[in-house]
A and B are shown apart, each in its own frame.
Chain A
Amino acid sequence: MVEFAAWSATFVHTVPLATTANSPPSPPIPSPLVAILPLLAPLATAVGALLVRRSDRAQRAVSVLGAIAYLGAVAALYAAVAEQGTLTYQLSDWQAPFGITVVADSLSVFTLAFAAALSLAAVVFSVLYVDSYGQRVSYHPLYHFMMVGVTGSFLTGDVFNLFVWFEVMLLSSYVLVAFYSGPEHTRAALGYAVLNLLGGAVMLVAIGGLYATTGTLNIADMARRLANASEYGIDPVPVLGLSAVLFSVFALKAGLVPFQFWVPAAYRAAPAPVAAMLAGVVKKVGIYAIVRLNFTVFATATLPAGLSLPGFVGESFLSFYGPILFVMAAASILVGGIGAISREDLDSMLAYSSIGQIGFVTLPLAVGATVPAIRPLAIAASLVYALNHGVAKALLYLVSGTIEDTVGTVRFRDLGGIAVRDPVLGGSFLLGALALIGIPPLSGFFAKLLVFDTSGSALALDGRGAALAIAIGLTGSILTIVYFSRAWTRGFWGPPGRAIEFWGGADDGAVSGDGRATTDGGTATDPVPEGAAEVESTSPSVGLVGIVAVLALSLVVLGLGFDPVADAAMAAAEAALDREGYVRAVLGGTG
Chain B
Amino acid sequence: MTQFVLAVVLGTLFALGTFLVLRRDVVRVVWGVVIVTQAANVYLVTMGGLSGVAPIVPGHGEAVTATAVTDPLVQALVLTAIVISLGTTAFALVLTYRIYEEHGTIDLFELGRRDEGDGGNEGGTEDFARSVADGGERCTADDSENETRTTSENESGRSEASVGG
A: residues with CB less than 8 A from B are: 1-2, 4-5, 8-9, 12-13, 15, 17-20, 131, 133, 160, 163-164, 167, 171, 174-175, 178, 180-187, 189-190, 193-194, 197-198, 200-202, 204-205, 207-209, 211-212, 217, 404-405, 407-409, 411, 414, 498-499, 501-502, 514-519, 521-527, 529-530
* Seed contacts A175-B91, A499-B141, A515-B142; 14 additional CB < 8 Å A-B pairs: A4-B87, A5-B87, A9-B80, A12-B79, A171-B91, A174-B91, A181-B98, A183-B134, A184-B130, A208-B40, A404-B138, A523-B137, A527-B142, A527-B151
Q: Are A5 and B47 in contact (CB under 8 A)?
A: no
Query: Does B16 have its Cβ within 8 Å of any Cβ on chain A?
Result: no
Q: Which of B43, B127, B139 lies in contact with A205, CB distance below 8 A?
A: B43
Task: Specify which chain A residues have a CB less than 8 angstroms from the CB of B140 in the assembled complex.
Answer: 407-409, 414, 499, 517
Task: Specify which chain A residues have a CB less than 8 angstroms from the CB of B77 in the assembled complex.
Answer: 13, 160, 207-208, 211
3 tightest A-B CB contacts, nearest first: A182-B134, A515-B142, A408-B140
A-B contact pairs, 19 of them (CB 8 A): A1-B83, A1-B86, A4-B87, A5-B84, A13-B73, A15-B76, A17-B71, A174-B91, A182-B131, A187-B103, A204-B43, A208-B43, A211-B73, A408-B138, A408-B141, A409-B140, A414-B143, A517-B141, A529-B148
Task: Specify which chain A residues have a CB less than 8 angstroms from the CB of B64 in the assembled complex.
Answer: 18
Q: Are B76 and A208 in contact (CB under 8 A)?
A: no
Known contacts A185-B134, A498-B142; A197/B83 CB under 8 A = no
Q: Give the distance in Å from the alpha carbon of A526 to the alpha carbon of B140 in the complex.
A: 9
Q: Are B130 and A182 in contact (CB under 8 A)?
A: yes
Closest B residue to A163 by CB, please name it: B81
Closest B residue to A14 by CB, please name it: B76
Q: Are A197 and B88 in contact (CB under 8 A)?
A: yes
Closest B residue to A501 by CB, please name it: B141
Closest A residue to B67 by CB, please name it: A18
Q: Give the distance in Å from the alpha carbon of A244 to the alpha carbon of B154 in the complex.
A: 48
Q: Give the distance in Å from the alpha carbon of A19 to the alpha carbon of B72 in the complex.
A: 9
Q: Give the distance in Å from the alpha carbon of A103 to the alpha carbon of B145 in the complex.
A: 61
Q: Give the distance in Å from the alpha carbon of A78 to the alpha carbon of B111 in the complex.
A: 47
Task: Specify which chain A residues have a CB less than 8 angstroms from the CB of B79 in the assembled complex.
Answer: 8, 12-13
**Most chain B beta-carbon contacts within 10 A, residue among A163, A198, A204, A521:** A204
The dominant DSSP class at the B interface is helix
Q: Give the distance in Å from the alpha carbon of A198 to the alpha carbon of B137 in the complex.
A: 35
Q: Are B91 and A181 in contact (CB under 8 A)?
A: no
Q: Are B74 and A211 in contact (CB under 8 A)?
A: yes
- Could you give, for residues 28-69 of chain B, a 1 whenever the CB lies within 8 Å of some chain A CB and a 0 otherwise? 011001001101110110011100000100000000100001
- Could you give, for residues 123-160 of chain B, a 1 whenever the CB lies within 8 Å of some chain A CB and a 0 otherwise? 01001101111111111111101011001000000000
Q: Are A171 and B88 in contact (CB under 8 A)?
A: yes
Q: Are B114 and A1 in contact (CB under 8 A)?
A: no
Closest B residue to A209 by CB, please name it: B47
Q: Which of A164, A519, A530 lies in contact with B145, CB distance below 8 A?
A: A530
Q: Which of A20, A171, A185 lies in contact with B87, CB distance below 8 A?
A: A171
Q: Which of A2, A5, A183 lies in contact with B114, CB distance below 8 A?
A: A183
B: residues with CB less than 8 A from A are: 21, 26, 29-30, 33, 36-37, 39-41, 43-44, 47-49, 55, 64, 69, 71-74, 76-77, 79-81, 83-84, 86-88, 90-92, 95-96, 98-99, 102-103, 111, 114-115, 118, 124, 127-128, 130-143, 145, 147-148, 151
Closest-CB distance, A96 to chain B (whole angstroms): 14
Q: Which of B41, B99, B135 lies in contact with A131, CB distance below 8 A?
A: B135
Q: Give the distance in Å from the alpha carbon of A204 to the alpha carbon of B39 in the complex.
A: 10
Task: Specify which chain B residues have a CB less than 8 angstroms from the CB of A202 in the assembled complex.
Answer: 40
Task: Specify which chain A residues have a CB less than 8 angstroms from the CB of B143 in the assembled complex.
Answer: 414, 498
Q: Are B76 and A12 in contact (CB under 8 A)?
A: yes
Q: Are B103 and A13 in contact (CB under 8 A)?
A: no
Q: Which of A13, A167, A204 lies in contact with B76, CB distance below 8 A?
A: A13
Q: Are B47 and A182 in contact (CB under 8 A)?
A: no
Known contacts A5-B84, A194-B21, A201-B37; A182/B102 CB under 8 A = yes
Q: Which of A167, A201, A514 lies in contact with B36, CB distance below 8 A?
A: A201
Q: Which of A193, A212, A524 lies in contact with B92, CB distance below 8 A?
A: A193
Q: Give the distance in Å from the alpha carbon of A183 to the alpha carbon of B135 in the complex.
A: 11
Q: Which of A198, A499, A502 lies in contact with B21, CB distance below 8 A?
A: A198
Q: Are B83 and A4 in contact (CB under 8 A)?
A: yes
Q: Which of A186, A498, A502, A530 lies in contact with B95, CB distance below 8 A?
A: A186
Task: Specify which chain A residues have a CB less than 8 angstroms from the CB of B36 in the assembled complex.
Answer: 198, 201
Q: Are A514 and B72 in contact (CB under 8 A)?
A: no
Q: Which of A13, A167, A404, A527 lies in contact with B88, CB distance below 8 A?
A: A167
Q: Give the distance in Å from the alpha carbon of A280 to the alpha carbon of B102 in the complex.
A: 30
Q: Which of B73, B91, B95, B130 lies in contact with A17, CB distance below 8 A?
A: B73
Q: Are A515 and B147 in contact (CB under 8 A)?
A: yes
Task: Specify which chain A residues have a CB less than 8 angstroms from the CB of B118 in the assembled complex.
Answer: 184
Q: Are B145 and A514 in contact (CB under 8 A)?
A: yes
Q: Are A183 and B102 in contact (CB under 8 A)?
A: yes
Closest B residue to A16 by CB, please name it: B73
Task: Specify which chain A residues have a CB less than 8 angstroms from the CB of B74 in the assembled complex.
Answer: 208, 211
Closest B residue to A404 by CB, please name it: B138
